[in-house]
Amino acid sequence: MPERTETESRKLLGRLRDTLAESSAGQARLDRITHLIADSMETEVCSIYLFRDAETLELCATEGLKPEAVHQTRMRLGEGLVGRVARTATALNTANAPAEKGFRFMPETGEEVFSSFLGVPIQRLGERLGVLVVQSRDARLYSDDEVYALEVVAMVLAEMTELGAFLGEGEALKALHKQAVMFRGQSGQEGAAEGHVYLHEPRVVVTRPVADDPEAELTRLHDAVEKLRLTVDDLLAKTQADGAGREVMEAYRMFAHSRSWIRRMEEDIGRGLTAESAVEKEQSSARARMDQVQDVYLRERLSDLDDLSNRLLRILTGQGHDTGAEMPEDPILVARNIGPGELLDYGRKLKAIVLEHGSVGSHAAVVARALAIPLVIQAERITTEALNGDHILVDGDQGLVHLRPEDQIASAFRDKIAMQAEAQSRYVSLRDKPAEATCGTRINLHMNAGLMADLPSLVGSGAEGVGLFRTELQFLIRNRVPKRSELAALYARVMDAAGGKRVVFRTLDIGSDKVMPYMKRPDEPNPAMGWRAVRVGLDKPGVMRMQMQALIRAAAGRPLTVMFPLIAQVGELTAARKLLLQEVERERRLGHVLPEKLEIGAMLETPSMAFAPDTFFDGCDFISVGGNDLKQFFFAADRENELVRRRYDTLDVSFLSLLKMIVKRCAAAGTPVSFCGEDAGRPIEAVALAAIGFRTLSMRPASIGPVKSLIRRVDLAELKARMDAAEAEGAESLRPAVLDYLRSLS
């Protein structure tokens, strides 16, 4: 336990609390604080630098440097020792500042006479706000106690900055959460939306950073920690014994009982912080370490600690997840991350979604696409900037988010939405017309689905059937394995909603980025090429057999179409087909009605199957080319990796050559083939795929209108001739040739 004597840091915090309580303007308050710190720490200089924008620090107050340098001295992030502290988010303590690497002399400040330097970051939960510096003439190295005291003060300054205690003139002293901010993320789902922010997990606001009674704060901390431990134990008791969820909760429990974590918070309280400020100080440290750690396992553990800290803060402050904030009429959900079940709870009420984390293949992205909701992922730090009710624009096409936009930006954005709405109205008029090219070739356009909520789009979009129904979503959004009866009822409703149109049910495609919360996740260096999809089903046939039984019973005498994902060799299809036929025979023996017709197909997602023996193509009732995985394996480019996923072109001659070979082999075997994936829903790629021989394309419902519109303007024979000519001339990509042809139509 920390000592209960009146420490220097507690004295300093007490004086700081009194200063903050005084009614004075932001600049005057900052000036008093720098004087107070310099006096308490017996240093000649104390300076406060705050960010005026994401890349620039500004000297906002000083005791000891030239006063005329205030608001005039600026430096870039990483520039000089102050910029270095801001960039690394770690303290810098040196007795000889000019000798330090990166030292920058600023003559306008008069700091050349000061040798020692101690700088600590002013940050709150990973959000960098500025740097607090003390300097002395003597070549002194500040003690650990002095470093700690300055870090505690910096943390209090961060809290007060967040609460608007230092408002004044100039960019650096502008009120937080007021300025227009643009976030450049990644597109998770196309579309544009305007609305108001609804935070999935509103920030905890610490309004009382400095303690009046450390003993009382220790009691509050211990009581809250005990309550937290009981909560974690309760969650652990409810978690299935063999589930990955249990491992997560075991990690939570380990942290909740960590003596070092509790001891550090006790020490923070002993130095003058309130219980919630102590929790937040340690949480900020964890987030700063998280930003520096590359190891995935360590990042996950630090993330566990971060989540645990949030739980503890909510217990201490009474600020639960539900803060009573009303959901606006046009809600745009903003979150660090979100699970598929939580996202489905919001349903179609949301206009758009913005996530700090996430990936294009994450569960949230899959659900957002199913609900046709614009999604931007990797919008760094938006949860620290956004407030409930903020005006927000989401451009899912470009991966851009405008928070509190200026009128000019909002006006241009509304024009874009209006143009998209006008285009959609044109597509509606094509709903009942065929996707028939001017040469008379007809292309069948099917939709992808995974939720009952998708099925109304079957009629509204003009889709001719469901080319892919993702059965894994029903497993991912639950905390337990669904019962066979539940699945049978769901699949029956899907068939009912399809109204006799063909529905292709893809068997459970789990693994890689799709991990069930109750399934133990194997430690794999490259999950996308690991234990996933049909490989899991064949190694653990219990769930696959149960799913097959549910599908057979759901059909209840109607035609049934089943497709196996990620077939990489003929033997896998043979084994999966055998398993399905065994279940059909079992259902026959039990007296259940069998499907009127059973089609068994495979997703061709690995280059190996393009070169498979003829028995593969002959043995399939149909083949669906899974373009997303096939392209990533063909180009060895992870589609979750933003550095490479856009590097390779679908219309690259080598990739199109592979696709043409697949089409040719399917034609020779008399096996129907379709193309399923993101590229099928992109009009330019879609007409190119149709030109090389694909007669069925499967895509998200919102893409059917644009794709159909372009197909109806194109002569596929002419387009193919242009593409062939470009290839003969040595083109690496046929995209320019396709674009030239399309321009000639207008």
2 occurs within a structural domain: no
pLDDT at 14 over 80: no
* Tokens at 192, concatenated: 């544009």
Rounded Cα distance between 62 and 47, Å, is 4
Amino acid at 599: E
In the predicted model, what is the mean pLDDT of residues 715-719?
Answer: 96
Are 42 and 105 in a shared domain? yes
Predicted pLDDT at 7 = 60
Predicted pLDDT at 245 = 45
With CA atoms as reference, report the closest residue to 129 among 98, 150, 154, 92: 154
Confidence bin at 527 (pLDDT 50/70/90): low
- For 302-342, write each residue's pLDDT tens digit: 666 676 787 888 888 876 555 556 788 999 999 887 766 66
Rounded Cα distance between 623 and 561, Å, is 12
pLDDT at 386 over 70: yes
209 occurs within a structural domain: no
Alpha carbon dihedral 183, 359, 467, 650, in 10-degree steps, equals 80
- Taking residue 735's Cβ as centre, other Cβ atoms within 10 Å add up to 18
* Tokens at 359, concatenated: 């990936």
Domain that holds residue 409: 181-202+323-421
Predicted pLDDT at 294 = 59
Predicted pLDDT at 214 = 85
The conformation of residue 205, written as its DSSP 8-state character, comes to: P
Cα angle 425, 430, 436 (rounded to 5 degrees) comes to: 145
Rounded Cα distance between 682 and 697, Å, is 11
The conformation of residue 511, written as its DSSP 8-state character, comes to: B
Are 499 and 626 in a shared domain? yes
Predicted pLDDT at 459 = 79
Q: Which is it for strands 696-699 and 352-355: parallel, antiparallel or unpaired?
A: unpaired
- For 603-627, write each residue's pLDDT tens digit: 999 999 999 999 999 999 999 999 9
Rounded Cα distance between 256 and 238, Å, is 17
- For 35-49, write each residue's pLDDT tens digit: 989 988 889 999 999
450 occurs within a structural domain: yes
Predicted pLDDT at 249 = 58
Are 501 and 638 in a shared domain? yes
Predicted pLDDT at 315 = 87
Predicted pLDDT at 312 = 85
480 occurs within a structural domain: yes
pLDDT at 1 over 50: no
With CA atoms as reference, report the closest residue to 57 among 31, 79, 70, 76: 76
Indicate if the alpha-carbon torsion angle 567, 573, 576, 577 is positive or negative. positive
pLDDT at 237 over 90: no
Rounded Cα distance between 490 and 105, Å, is 70
Containing H/E element for 14? helix 8-21
Residue ending a domain, among 153, 173, 193, is: 173
pLDDT at 556 over 50: yes
Residue of 452 and 732 predicted with greater confidence: 732
683 occurs within a structural domain: yes
pLDDT at 512 over 60: no
Predicted pLDDT at 243 = 43
Confidence bin at 5 (pLDDT 50/70/90): very low
Which residues is 61 bridged to in the sheet?
A: 48
Cα angle 668, 672, 678 (rounded to 5 degrees) comes to: 120
Percentage of the chain beyond pLDDT 70 is 83
Which residues is 127 bridged to in the sheet?
A: 124
pLDDT at 119 over 80: yes
Burial of 730 (0-12, 13-18, 19+ CB in 10 A): exposed
Are 42 and 126 in a shared domain? yes
Specify whether the CB–CB gap between 466 and 503 falls below 8 A: yes
* Tokens at 626, concatenated: 């899974």
CATH number at residue 34: 3.30.450.40
* Tokens at 418, concatenated: 């209006």
Rounded Cα distance between 567 and 248, Å, is 32
Question: How far from 200 is each of 326, 332, 336, 387, 680, CA to CA, in Å?
Answer: 12, 10, 8, 11, 33
At residue 307, φ and ψ (nearest 5 deg) are -65, -40
Kindly give, in sequence order, each residue whose CB lies less than 8 Å from that of residue 50, ignoring residues fewer than 6 positions away: 57, 58, 60, 122, 129, 130, 161, 166, 172, 173
Residue ending a domain, among 173, 194, 225, is: 173
CATH number at residue 274: 1.10.274.10
pLDDT at 238 over 50: yes
Rounded Cα distance between 615 and 577, Å, is 13
Predicted pLDDT at 311 = 80
Confidence bin at 4 (pLDDT 50/70/90): very low
Q: What is the pLDDT of the chain when averaged over all its residues?
A: 84
Cα angle 500, 501, 503 (rounded to 5 degrees) comes to: 115
Most confident option among 2-11, 39-48, 561-570, 682-691? 682-691
441 occurs within a structural domain: yes
Rounded Cα distance between 601 and 618, Å, is 11
Predicted pLDDT at 178 = 72
Confidence bin at 296 (pLDDT 50/70/90): low
Rounded Cα distance between 643 and 632, Å, is 13
459 occurs within a structural domain: yes
Specify whether the CB–CB gap between 690 and 441 falls below 8 A: yes
Percentage of the chain beyond pLDDT 90 is 40
Are 219 and 275 in a shared domain? yes
pLDDT at 723 over 90: yes
CATH number at residue 572: 3.20.20.60
Predicted pLDDT at 53 = 81
Are 408 and 376 in a shared domain? yes
Most confident option among 365-369, 463-467, 742-746? 463-467
Are 389 and 476 in a shared domain? no
Predicted pLDDT at 530 = 65
Rounded Cα distance between 349 and 327, Å, is 10
Rounded Cα distance between 111 and 102, Å, is 16
- For 144-195, write each residue's pLDDT tens digit: 888 888 888 888 888 777 666 676 666 666 756 677 888 988 888 888 899 9
In the predicted model, what is the mean pLDDT of residues 76-84?
Answer: 91
Helices (H), 590-734: 607-610, 614-619, 627-634, 653-669, 683-691, 701-711, 716-728
Amino acid at 370: A
* Tokens at 7, concatenated: 């420490």
Rounded Cα distance between 394 and 59, Å, is 34
Predicted pLDDT at 267 = 87
Specify whether the CB–CB gap between 567 and 662 falls below 8 A: no
Rounded Cα distance between 73 and 65, Å, is 11
Amino acid at 125: L
Q: Which is it for strands 696-699 and 92-94: parallel, antiparallel or unpaired?
A: unpaired
Are 451 and 600 in a shared domain? yes
Predicted pLDDT at 242 = 42
Amino acid at 742: L
Most confident option among 54-68, 119-133, 639-653? 54-68
In the predicted model, what is the mean pLDDT of residues 404-430?
Answer: 83
Rounded Cα distance between 228 and 254, Å, is 12
Are 312 and 396 in a shared domain? no
CATH number at residue 356: 3.50.30.10
Query: How many structural domains are present in the chain?
Result: 4
Are 648 and 533 in a shared domain? yes
Are 295 and 386 in a shared domain? no
pLDDT at 478 over 70: no
Specify whether the CB–CB gap between 505 and 563 falls below 8 A: yes
366 occurs within a structural domain: yes
Confidence bin at 54 (pLDDT 50/70/90): confident
- For 457-474, write each residue's pLDDT tens digit: 777 788 999 999 988 877
Predicted pLDDT at 575 = 92
With CA atoms as reference, report the closest residue to 96 among 151, 135, 65, 128: 135
Are 461 and 598 in a shared domain? yes
Q: Which is it for strands 391-395 and 400-403: parallel, antiparallel or unpaired?
A: antiparallel
In the predicted model, what is the mean pLDDT of residues 403-427?
Answer: 83
